[in-house]
């Protein structure tokens, strides 16, 4: 036994009793300790170590890579849940595939070099940014966390700092730090971190400060913290997460960015651009957004540099919203049909009603997000009455029922009893 094991702090606790050098529990609590030249280890820690090693063997990584869905498969899966956004689907499928392929290969070959390709999604509210990220994470069965960039603070301020974000990811994996490090973090509203947007905000935390804090995590940084429930057997005292394998997908509407792009493309100082941009033109110009435009918008160059993959999503038009209502595997119309079927009622929407719903959602300017609100309003009255009105067996929502705002009269008008 080495000198350190006898005298050093690694092997004895404050009372001078032998302890496990890994979890620091005394011999009385751990049972037999296995001695090394400089340290001791208990059974629980041996178990934990073998579990970690089992996951890190190259063979396992390679099989994970062989099982990795190819970009085309990822795209097909996205198609089941996300309407439109073809470009974003393609870009994301490839980027996410490459990300996990890289992780697998680098780990297998013991290569620490990991050029990570975090992703930036630019698109209006309710166009499917979160949905795309979430659906990919579900297909890959990797941990997924959604966070709002505007709620983040610099370390030391009140609120959730970036460390807290990683901690939340680990907690969502039942404190499995290893698994958490393969996760995807979707960071919403990063456009609100732009320097020019934070000047007039009331909170004392600058968006720039948060951008700086995020930089560290988007590359590689070890976050170390104590798990919430301590003391339980076989639970390490500290959890460590290396963020270098965590994929960050950032999203934002970037209002006004299209105008910046347009101005750049037309050359500065030419007066005729002023009153040209309409919504359609703007989204066209967004497709030409470059790193410089994002920096001009107020993101710091280092932050933009960490987001090499950029995709622009289209605003959903009326036809797209009708498809969102009906086509996805978990489409709203399917959901409510199932819900009313539980009350023994068959629900139908006419084509006119679907378009009216889409138009109303469109008017709200929150993209597909508005659809649920509108459909809830229209179906409120029927859903309120149905559980009592046993005779109603077939309910057709037509255009008028939508336009009448789901008033009782609209309901009377559109429901019928079947013999
Ligand atoms: N392209 C789409 N296809 C199908 N459903 C969509 C699509 N876009 C949005 N939705 C639906 O609208 C809701 C909101 O979408 P999502 O959260 O993805 O918007 P977002 O683009 O992330 O907007 P925000 O930036 O405001 O969060 C989701 O519940 C989703 O079901
Ligand atoms: Zn131990």
ipTM metric? 0.95
The answer, yes or no, to whether any atom of ligand 1 lies below 6 A from the CB of 131, is yes
* Chain centroid offset of residue 405 CA: 34
Same structural domain for residues 247 and 115?
yes
Q: Is position 27 within any domain?
A: yes
> Same structural domain for residues 219 and 165?
yes
One domain for residues 304 and 362: no
Residue after which a domain boundary falls, among 35, 54, 73: 54
- Concatenated DSSP letters of 223-286: EEE--SS-S-TT--S-EEEEGGGPEEEEEE--TTHHHHHHHHHH-TT-GGGTT---HHHHHHHH
**Last residue of some domain: 14, 30, 54?**
54
Q: What is the CATH number of the domain that holds 220?
A: 3.40.50.300
Residue 381 near residue 408, CB atoms below 8 Å: yes
The string of pLDDT tens digits covering residues 346-369 is 899 999 999 999 999 999 989 999
CA distance 336 to 331: 9
Taking the CA of residue 84 as reference, the ligand 1 atom at the shortest distance is 1
- What does the DSSP assignment read for 48-105? HHHHHHHHH-HHHHHHHHHHSPPHHHHHHHHHHH--S-HHHHHHHHHHHHHHHHHHHH
| Cβ of 328 below 6 Å from ligand 1 | yes
- Residue whose token pair is 């970009």: 71
SS3 330: coil
- 3-state class of 211 per DSSP? helix
Whether residue 164 has pLDDT greater than 90: no
Tell whether 38 and 74 lie within a shared domain. Answer: no
Q: Ligand 2 centre from 29 Cα, in Å?
A: 9
| Residues 89 and 138 sit within 8 Å (Cβ to Cβ) | no
Tokens representing 222 are: 């070890």
Tokens of 367: 């993209």
Q: For ligand 1, is residue 125 a contact (CB within 6 Å)?
A: yes
66 against 350, higher pLDDT: 350
What's the mean pLDDT in 152-174? Answer: 79
Average pLDDT over residues 165-180: 87
Residue 241 forms beta bridges with which residues?
223
Return all residues near 189 (Cβ < 8 A) that are at least 6 apart: 148, 149, 150, 251, 252, 253
Range from 128-132, 204-208, 396-400 that averages highest in pLDDT = 128-132
Identify the nearest ligand to the CA of 150 by its number: 1
Q: For residues 283-318, b (16+ Cβ closer than 10 Å) or e, as one string?
A: bebbeebeeebbbbbbbbeebbebbebbbbbbbbee
For the beta carbon of residue 31, count every other beta carbon within 10 angstroms.
Answer: 11
- Per the CB < 8 A criterion, the answer to whether 189 and 123 are in contact is no
Mean pLDDT of 225-233: 62
Region 40-45 average pLDDT? 88
**Does some domain include residue 260?**
no
How far does residue 112's CA lie from ligand 2's centre (Å)?
28
Structural domain of 48:
3-54
Residue 111 located in a structural domain: yes
Within 10 angstroms of residue 111's Cβ, the number of other Cβ atoms is 10
Distance from residue 1's CA to the centre of ligand 2 (Å)? 19
State whether 298 and 355 are in the same domain. no
Domain of 383, CATH number, reads 1.10.8.60
Q: Mean pLDDT score of the chain, rounded to an integer?
A: 81
* Range 316-331 average pLDDT: 95
pLDDT winner (highest mean) among 41-55, 236-250, 353-367: 353-367
- Same domain as 300, residue 324: no
What is the CA(400)–ligand 1 centre distance, in A?
Answer: 27
Distance CA 295, CA 287 (A): 16
154 has pLDDT over 80: no
Asked, for residue 128, whether it belongs to a domain, the answer is yes
Q: Is there a contact between 150 and 103 (Cβ–Cβ < 8 Å)?
A: no
Amino acid 133: pLDDT:
97
The finding on whether 246 has its CB within 6 A of some atom of ligand 1 is no
Q: How confident is residue 322, by pLDDT bands cut at 50, 70 and 90?
A: very high
Helix (H, G, I), strand (E, B) or coil at 101: helix
Q: Do 190 and 67 fall within a single domain? A: yes
pLDDT bin (cut points 50, 70, 90) of residue 234 is: low
Task: Tell me the pLDDT band of 419, cut-offs 50, 70 and 90.
Answer: very low
pLDDT in tens, 274-315: 444 444 444 578 888 889 999 999 999 999 999 999 999 999
Residue 273 has pLDDT above 60, yes or no: no
308 in the same domain as 323: no
Query: How many whole angstroms separate alpha carbon 148 and alpha carbon 282?
Result: 25
Asked if residues 356 and 403 have their Cβ atoms less than 8 Å apart, the reply is: yes
The helix/strand/coil state of 33 is strand
11 lines ligand 1 (CB under 6 A): no
**Which of the ligands is closest to the CA of residue 364?**
1
Locate 383 and state its tokens. Answer: 């859903």
Q: Quick check: is 273 in a domain? A: no
Q: What is the mean pLDDT of residues 124-129?
A: 94
Binding residues for Zn(2+): 20, 23, 42, 45
CB of 364 within 8 A of CB of 375?
Answer: no
Count how many domains the chain has: 3
Owner of token pair 């004895």: 12
Count CB-CB contacts under 10 A for residue 396.
15
Q: Which pLDDT value is given to residue 51?
A: 74
In a domain, 247, yes or no: yes
Same domain for 133 and 232, yes or no, is: yes
Highest mean pLDDT among 86-90, 255-259, 289-293, 379-383 belongs to 86-90
**Same-domain check for residues 381 and 246:** no
Question: What's the average model confidence in pLDDT over 51-63?
Answer: 61
Task: Among 36-45, 114-123, 268-277, name the one with the lowest average pLDDT.
Answer: 268-277
Same domain, 125 and 34: no
- Minimal-distance CA residue to ligand 1 atom 11: 368
Which atom of ligand 1 is least distant from the CA of 126?
Answer: 19
**Is 158 within 8 Å of 215 (Cβ atoms)?**
no
Ligand nearest to C-alpha 132 = 1
- The listed range with the strongest mean pLDDT (28-32, 54-58, 126-130) is 126-130
In a domain, 295, yes or no: yes
Of 316, 262, 252, 250, nearest to 286 (Cα)? 262
Find, among 175, 247, 177, the residue nearest to 217 by Cα: 247
Instruction: State whether the beta carbon of 130 lies less than 6 angstroms from ligand 1.
Output: yes
Give the pLDDT score at 236.
61
Is residue 120 assigned to a domain? yes
pLDDT of residue 280: 45
Give 50 Cα–ligand 1 centroid separation in angstroms: 42
Same domain, 357 and 340: yes
Q: How far apart are the first and last CA of the chain?
A: 90
């Amino acid at each position: 036994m080495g000198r350190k094991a006898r005298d050093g702090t690694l092997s004895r606790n404050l009372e001078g009793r032998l302890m496990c050098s890994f979890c620091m529990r005394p011999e009385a609590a751990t049972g037999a300790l296995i001695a090394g030249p400089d340290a001791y280890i208990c059974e629980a820690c041996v178990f934990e170590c073998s579990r970690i090693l089992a996951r890190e063997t190259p063979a396992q990584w390679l099989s994970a890579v062989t099982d990795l869905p190819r970009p085309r498969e990822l795209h097909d899966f996205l198609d089941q849940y996300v309407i439109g956004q073809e470009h974003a689907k393609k870009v994301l499928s490839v980027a996410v595939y490459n990300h996990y392929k890289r992780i697998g290969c680098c780990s297998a070959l013991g290569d620490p070099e990991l050029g990570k390709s975090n992703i930036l999604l630019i698109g209006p509210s309710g166009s499917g940014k979160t949905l795309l990220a979430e659906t990919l994470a579900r297909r890959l069965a990797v941990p997924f966390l959604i966070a709002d960039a505007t709620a983040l603070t610099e370390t030391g301020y009140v609120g959730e700092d970036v460390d807290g974000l990683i901690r939340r990811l680990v907690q969502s994996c039942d404190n499995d730090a290893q698994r958490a490090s393969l996760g995807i973090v979707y960071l919403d509203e990063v456009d609100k971190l732009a320097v020019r947007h934070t000047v007039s905000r009331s909170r004392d935390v600058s968006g720039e400060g948060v951008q700086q804090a995020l930089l560290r995590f988007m590359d590689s940084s070890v976050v170390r913290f104590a798990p919430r429930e301590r003391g339980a057997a076989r639970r390490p005292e500290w959890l460590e997460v290396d963020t270098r394998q965590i994929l960050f997908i950032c999203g934002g509407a970037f209002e006004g960015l299209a105008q910046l792009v347009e101005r750049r493309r037309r050359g500065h100082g030419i007066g005729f651009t002023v009153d040209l941009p309409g919504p359609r033109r703007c989204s066209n110009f967004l497709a030409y957004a470059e790193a410089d435009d994002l920096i001009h918008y107020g993101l710091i160059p280092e932050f933009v540099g960490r987001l090499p993959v950029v995709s622009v999503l289209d605003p959903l038009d009326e036809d797209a919203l009708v498809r969102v209502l009906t086509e996805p595997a978990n489409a709203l119309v399917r959901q409510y049909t199932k819900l009313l079927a539980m009350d023994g009622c068959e629900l139908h929407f006419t084509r006119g009603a679907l378009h009216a719903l889409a138009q109303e959602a469109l008017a709200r300017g929150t993209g597909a997000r508005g659809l649920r609100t509108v459909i809830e309003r229209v179906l409120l009255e029927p859903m309120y009455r149905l559980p009592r009105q046993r005779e109603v067996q077939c309910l057709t929502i037509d255009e008028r029922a939508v336009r009448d705002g789901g008033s009782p009269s609209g309901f009377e008008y559109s429901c019928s009893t079947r013999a």
